[in-house]
């Protein structure tokens, strides 16, 4: 986040958390705190939810590829499927 957007978002989340806490809505106040923690964490470390998702998708893709190679199923072939059905 550039410039004023990072501190402004944290101030907004703090105000929302305070307001939700004053109105006895603790679940939303905790949600605002968790979002604030995520913003600070992603700003400081550079890790984002998108990076986590991409790593997970890459891991699943590699795992599926290894599984298909070990079981001799290199992929789906529509022509072979048509031949089997005939």
What is the model's pTM? 0.63
* pLDDT, position 83: 76
The residue ranges of every structural domain in the chain are 1-47, 48-86
Only one residue has tokens 């190679």, namely 69
* pLDDT, position 70: 76
For residue 82, what pLDDT band results from cuts at 50, 70 and 90?
A: confident
Q: What is the pLDDT of residues 23-74, one digit of tens each?
A: 999 999 999 999 999 999 998 898 888 999 999 999 988 888 777 777 776 6
């Amino acid at each position: 986040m550039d410039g004023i957007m990072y501190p402004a978002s944290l101030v907004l989340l703090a105000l929302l958390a305070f307001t939700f806490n004053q109105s006895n809505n603790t679940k939303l106040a905790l949600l605002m705190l968790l979002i604030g923690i995520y913003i600070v964490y992603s700003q400081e470390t550079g890790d984002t939810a998108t990076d986590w998702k991409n790593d997970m998708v890459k891991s699943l893709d590699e795992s599926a590829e290894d599984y298909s190679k070990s079981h001799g199923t290199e992929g789906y072939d529509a022509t072979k499927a048509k031949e089997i059905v005939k």
